[in-house]
A and B are shown apart, each in its own frame.
Chain A
Amino acid sequence: MRALRLLPLLALAGLALVGVPTAAAGQGAAEETRIVDFDFAPRTLEVEVGTSVSWSNTGARPHTATDRGGSFDTKPISPGASAKVSFSTPGTYFYFCRINPSKMNGVVVVKPGAQPSKAVRVQAVDPGFTGDKLRFDPPRLSVAAGTTLLVANVGGKPHSLTADDGSFDTGIVDPGPEGGRFAGKNASVTLTKPGTFGFHCEIHPAAMKGVETVTGDAAGGGPAAASAGPREVDIGARDFAFDPKEASVASGGKVTVTNRGKAPHTMTLDDQPLDTGNIPPGAMATLTAPTEPGSYSYRCAVHPAKMRGVLVVLGRDVEDPTEQGAAQAVAAAPVAAGGDGPGGGVTTFVLVTAVLAAFLGGVGLSAFALRRRRAPT
């Protein structure tokens, strides 16, 4: 009990001892962006491929420069310190400060150099956080065979970059937590087959389209492999929707369907002889995913009008080009800076807590006020 009494005092002592964070590493660069409280200056920076960009914090608070597509994160830069990121992959990079994600946003545009790059970045953009329209950035690109596409989800919705003919597919690339408030994920495909390919997002096929021209020939040829997918996926069947509606799984992976509703449901693929049969409420069934990579629509045979979904089957793994010489666009390891902590439920939690606090405190304050009014009598 005595130790408990000392807790607030110890905490107060800790508060008094806290100092300013120490300086972060990194200094000197070909291009420099200043960080002020609470903005980047300039907000848009155009650089040649291979340029190192330095962020110098001239503000009084720590800030970060974090890719919205999850490919770099400077970590907090203390006031007076700087951090540097080298860009060797052409493309547009939406970045932000993950300590002040709503206010501090910037763009680095990396222009291709004289030599063709081994990797090119494509951003999947949506209204989620940036307020932009659904699109690929850039929508048209021309690369040499053997080039790796780095597909970064900088929005608030899941996306994929899928060839119209199915020859390459990133699978579902998840957005950042809290509807894109924080950094999203990225995926990659290597293009080895020459030709012109239309591509689209499997989830937003009408709005998100593009064209990719692959020139020359690469050793190994053949269609590009897809990025890795999970070996198992769980899909819930509620009354009356699948959750999630879009799921990805590795080729030949295990699909478990759990009926979380009160009505019987099935998972029946539209174009494949795969069907769980009736799953009673509370029960589960499993399917083996098709071995051929691609997107497979499915339905509940009992409620086909209401319950539909898409299963994306991903092919063999490809090496992560961010770990190879092919793409050294990042200074730090690719991370989803937003992490996977508490998400959208936080809003509900804090609002409920606040209502509870206001109620408790309000009752107490009213009691004191009423007692004071009664006191003279």
Chain B
Amino acid sequence: MDLIEFLNDLTGGQLLLWKVILTSLVFACAGLQVLLAARFYEASTVPPISTGVAARTHRLNGKLTVTLAVVVAVTCLVGPAGPTSPTRVLLHSTFGSLAFALLALKYTVLKLWAPGGRFLPWIGSGLFLTFAAIWATTVADYVTAR
């Protein structure tokens, strides 16, 4: 079966709406990631949890975020989103690619280049802002295009 057909059937013909929902969830998870990182880097005292718990939650939430982001990215590749203009497509593609480039960079630093650890807050912040840009070029466009 065609993948786009399969996804459409899976979502009862509401693929676009589910993408909008998942993109928003990814954005929210990314925000939580930054907050948790600020906690275990001891840059912040909120949320009021130990740095260990914050770190573990950060890893778990990160896996969830990446998984959801990949699911949305797959649907973007096989079936484009709703309101579309060439500029939006260009921006969305740029930010989408940037998000996965930053993710790859983050995994590289984590697994292969320990000295680069001091850059992780910057990479994480960049990821959050990239997800915000993706949200703005998709969901915000969807909501305002009525």
**A interface with B by C-beta (< 8 Å):** 4-5, 7-8, 11-12, 14-15, 18, 20-22, 24, 37-38, 61-62, 75-76, 78, 98-103, 177-179, 181-182, 335-342, 346-347, 349-351, 353-354, 356-365, 367-368, 370-371
* Distance of A353 from chain B, by nearest CB (Å): 4
Asked if A179 and B146 make an inter-chain contact with CB atoms under 8 angstroms apart, the answer reads yes
Chain B contacts for A363, CB-based, 8 A: 35, 38, 44, 46
Q: Is B133 an interface residue (CB 8 A)?
A: no
Asked if B74 and A18 make an inter-chain contact with CB atoms under 8 angstroms apart, the answer reads yes
Asked if B77 and A18 make an inter-chain contact with CB atoms under 8 angstroms apart, the answer reads yes
Cβ contacts A to B, 30 pairs, < 8 Å = A5-B63, A11-B66, A12-B66, A18-B74, A21-B5, A21-B79, A38-B84, A61-B80, A98-B13, A99-B15, A99-B16, A102-B82, A103-B84, A178-B146, A339-B13, A341-B14, A346-B21, A350-B23, A350-B139, A357-B28, A357-B31, A357-B32, A357-B135, A360-B28, A361-B30, A361-B31, A364-B31, A365-B34, A365-B38, A368-B43
The 7 closest A-B pairs by CB, nearest first: A364-B34, A341-B14, A339-B13, A360-B31, A361-B31, A367-B44, A11-B70
* Distance of B35 from chain A, by nearest CB (Å): 4
* Distance of A63 from chain B, by nearest CB (Å): 9
Asked if A364 and B37 make an inter-chain contact with CB atoms under 8 angstroms apart, the answer reads yes
A339 to B60, CA, bound (A): 34
A182 to B62, CA, bound (A): 34
Q: Produce 1/0 per residue, B10-43, CB < 8 A to A.
A: 0111111110110111011111111111100101
Asked if B30 and A101 make an inter-chain contact with CB atoms under 8 angstroms apart, the answer reads no
Asked if B35 and A76 make an inter-chain contact with CB atoms under 8 angstroms apart, the answer reads no
Q: Is B51 an interface residue (CB 8 A)?
A: no
Asked if B82 and A100 make an inter-chain contact with CB atoms under 8 angstroms apart, the answer reads yes
Chain B contacts for A179, CB-based, 8 A: 146
A340 to B13, CA, bound (A): 8
Asked if A340 and B12 make an inter-chain contact with CB atoms under 8 angstroms apart, the answer reads yes
Chain B contacts for A336, CB-based, 8 A: 13
Which residues of B107-131 have CB atoms within 8 Å of chain A's CB atoms? 121, 125, 128, 131
Closest to A12 in B: B70
Asked if B31 and A18 make an inter-chain contact with CB atoms under 8 angstroms apart, the answer reads no
Asked if B38 and A346 make an inter-chain contact with CB atoms under 8 angstroms apart, the answer reads no
Asked if B43 and A8 make an inter-chain contact with CB atoms under 8 angstroms apart, the answer reads no
Closest to A351 in B: B143
Closest to A181 in B: B146
Chain B contacts for A371, CB-based, 8 A: 41, 43
* Distance of A73 from chain B, by nearest CB (Å): 8
* Distance of A5 from chain B, by nearest CB (Å): 7
Q: Which residue from B31, B41, B63, B131 sits with its C-beta under 8 Å from A359?
A: B31
Asked if B13 and A337 make an inter-chain contact with CB atoms under 8 angstroms apart, the answer reads yes
**Known contacts A14-B70, A78-B2, A347-B143; A354/B27 CB under 8 A:** yes
Number of interface residues of B (CB under 8 A): 63
Asked if A24 and B67 make an inter-chain contact with CB atoms under 8 angstroms apart, the answer reads no
A360 to B17, CA, bound (A): 24
Chain A contacts for B74, CB-based, 8 A: 14-15, 18
Q: Is B105 an interface residue (CB 8 A)?
A: no
Closest to A98 in B: B13
Asked if A11 and B80 make an inter-chain contact with CB atoms under 8 angstroms apart, the answer reads no
A341 to B23, CA, bound (A): 17
A350 to B136, CA, bound (A): 11
A33 to B90, CA, bound (A): 26
Asked if A342 and B70 make an inter-chain contact with CB atoms under 8 angstroms apart, the answer reads no
A368 to B27, CA, bound (A): 19
Asked if B35 and A18 make an inter-chain contact with CB atoms under 8 angstroms apart, the answer reads no
Q: Is B78 an interface residue (CB 8 A)?
A: yes
A354 to B73, CA, bound (A): 19
Chain A contacts for B43, CB-based, 8 A: 367-368, 370-371
A253 to B67, CA, bound (A): 49
A13 to B97, CA, bound (A): 16
Asked if B18 and A353 make an inter-chain contact with CB atoms under 8 angstroms apart, the answer reads no
Closest to A66 in B: B13
* Besides the known contacts A342-B14, A350-B23, A357-B28, 15 further A-B residue pairs in the complex with CB atoms under 8 A apart: A4-B63, A8-B63, A8-B70, A11-B66, A14-B70, A338-B13, A341-B12, A357-B24, A357-B31, A357-B135, A361-B34, A362-B31, A365-B125, A368-B34, A370-B43
Asked if A358 and B132 make an inter-chain contact with CB atoms under 8 angstroms apart, the answer reads yes
Chain B contacts for A360, CB-based, 8 A: 28, 31-32, 34-35
Closest to A353 in B: B24
A37 to B79, CA, bound (A): 12
Closest to A364 in B: B34
Asked if B24 and A349 make an inter-chain contact with CB atoms under 8 angstroms apart, the answer reads yes
Chain A contacts for B21, CB-based, 8 A: 342, 346, 349-350
Interface centre among A21, A75, A101, A178 (most CB of B within 10 A): A21
